[in-house]
Structure 1
């Protein structure tokens, strides 16, 4: 297998001229398909929980019958019993980005596209991201290989005959690619992986989000608003377990991770956490087909931090289109659509079919 550097374009609309507009419009205004998810709750080894939202052909309808939002059906006691699948049934496990969920614009678009192609789709929620606080003072972080492993083990156990693929968006892509590099040949059961708009160098991304108007006054406050809300809930659950005052004073993601995410997950602070959990150093160790897709105008990720051919193994394809923003790969006439990204994923996943 030869390493590829793909610079082919994502045909972004001309009325979205830059990475900022492409990012914000896709997240806020591109029409989102409605999806029917069935939620399964799995228990972790530390007595916490992870929620997985499924959509399985023959078991779940693709879309709701009415115009109301399709809230997930929660399976907390009953095991999910999928129908028998043929040995060639393709399946996709999706890992969302920072503060994302199965309702994120990219998750719904990808799920809808692949279900139309008769794929099984499962969207795994990181702890505390499924709409209900998790049970421990800890939460989730960008390099949580143990939880990725737990999720993979579970979905393989549920559907052992499926041909599994995995995709991670942004933070979820970082965790997935790091884990893929760590596991090397042991992931031979997985057909392929893909990381989309991945902050491969967490320090470079953090520094980028601390500079410029949008980074300082739009993106960072957006993330901190929901993250701090969860922290207030954790302080009520676990009084004195975290430094609530220092965390709530955070003005940047570095401050937040230095006060909470790093220490609560066993790191010395944000610098130690970001350095050890960046996936870029692990790209050389990947031993299964992997697509790493980053727009060069991503407002979160400086172009200078993107990997080149020398930074990756021969199993990795780097796709670095000029436009697309951060998970903002919308195309077509107003109000545009989000089909280019899932089509690109399908093309990569099926190249050996």
Structure 2
């Protein structure tokens, strides 16, 4: 599929990727009422889902997946939910395990390649809720999960009509390298603190799985993936996790119309995270690379973010 020429033009001050990223993550506000539902996963853990609805009964739903240490109340989730609700589509924000304000039941939690929980949510929407049209939108880590899920060797339900992935680290090792560079130090410190704080809760319930000394050895995000993510989820080490969980290797096998939007000034993404070759070789894969936008920072003057507008445009003909 030819590369999409982007029309995104941000307000002047938001041409700076750092400013766009910080503003969107820490300052943006979206007013949205959500109802929470808890579902059981196939392995007897739980997921908390936050629902918002269109004015009229809808046969369409968009599943929204957040990024690393996010949750379903983050503005990049609620902004999309609100816009889709206004256009006749129900929305469900998925809180990954341990991200809804309550720790999950097991030592393992969530990671960039964990697709079974998304599959459980998809089946819940189709089999229990009765939706005939399902869209998926993943942001950052959630985008990698979305793309990997769609390209894996599994039966994708016919009700999944389209997907959107925003600011996606499709090559996890490359993205990890970028996050450890000085330009991203503030973000890396923030992510690591949230993750380590959660691990300090885990050790109280699972003292036989990890020690205080191991937690204290975590100085970087990569250390966290060495000490916890890889070991808790069946990988040999951090590199093995990055290689197996990266969605890049699954893009050629995506069979539903999918839009990937990665800004060229996204400081979290390495050169490998712009899958031009894969998009040109797969008619289902649409790649848009705006010059600006930072990491999930596609700000516009009308309060609707460009990535949210484009997501709606991408699926609009399928809604009704």
**Partner of 1:50 in structure 2?**
47
Is contact 2:171-2:272 (8 Å) kept? no
**Partner of 2:16 in structure 1?**
18
Aligned counterparts of 2:215 and 2:7: Cα–Cα separation in 1: 41
Aligned counterparts of 1:328 and 1:116: Cα–Cα separation in 2: 22
Q: Residue 292 of structure 2 is aligned with which of 309, 323, 332?
A: 323
Aligned counterparts of 2:31 and 2:318: Cα–Cα separation in 1: 31
Aligned counterparts of 2:18 and 2:257: Cα–Cα separation in 1: 30
The SS at the match of 1:136 is coil
> 1:227: Cα distance to partner?
0.8
**Partner of 1:253 in structure 2?**
221
| Cα distance, 1:221–1:50 mapped onto 2, change above 3 Å | same
Asked if 1:296 corresponds to 2:264, the answer is yes
Is contact 2:150-2:156 (8 Å) kept? no
Unaligned runs of 5+ in 2: none
> 1:194: Cα distance to partner?
0.8
TM-score normalised per structure 2 = 0.94
Aligned counterparts of 1:248 and 1:39: Cα–Cα separation in 2: 35
| Cα distance, 1:293–1:158 mapped onto 2, change above 3 Å | same
The SS at the match of 2:72 is coil
**Partner of 1:339 in structure 2?**
305
> 1:46: Cα distance to partner?
2.2
The 10-residue stretch of structure 1 (272-281 or 14-23) with the greater mean CA deviation from structure 2: 14-23
| Runs of 4+ deviating beyond 4 Å | none
**Partner of 1:73 in structure 2?**
none
How many residues get paired?
Answer: 318
Is contact 1:187-1:288 (8 Å) kept? no
> 1:262: Cα distance to partner?
0.6
Q: Residue 166 of structure 1 is aligned with which of 136, 144, 157?
A: 136
Aligned counterparts of 2:161 and 2:309: Cα–Cα separation in 1: 17
Asked if 1:350 corresponds to 2:319, the answer is no
> Between Structure 1 and Structure 2, which shows a larger proportion of helix residues?
2
Asked if 1:236 corresponds to 2:236, the answer is no
> 1:58: Cα distance to partner?
5.5
Asked if 1:221 corresponds to 2:195, the answer is no
Matches within 5 A, 1:73-222: 85=57, 89-183=59-153, 186-212=156-182, 214-216=183-185, 218-222=186-190
Asked if 1:38 corresponds to 2:35, the answer is yes
The SS at the match of 1:309 is helix
Deviations 1:132-189 (A, max 9, x none): 0001111101001211111111111232243111100000110110010014663432
> 1:9: Cα distance to partner?
3.2
Unaligned runs of 5+ in 1: 60-84
The SS at the match of 1:227 is helix
> 1:201: Cα distance to partner?
0.2
The SS at the match of 2:112 is coil
The RMSD of aligned alpha carbons is: 1.8
Is contact 2:168-2:273 (8 Å) kept? no
Is contact 1:137-1:242 (8 Å) kept? no
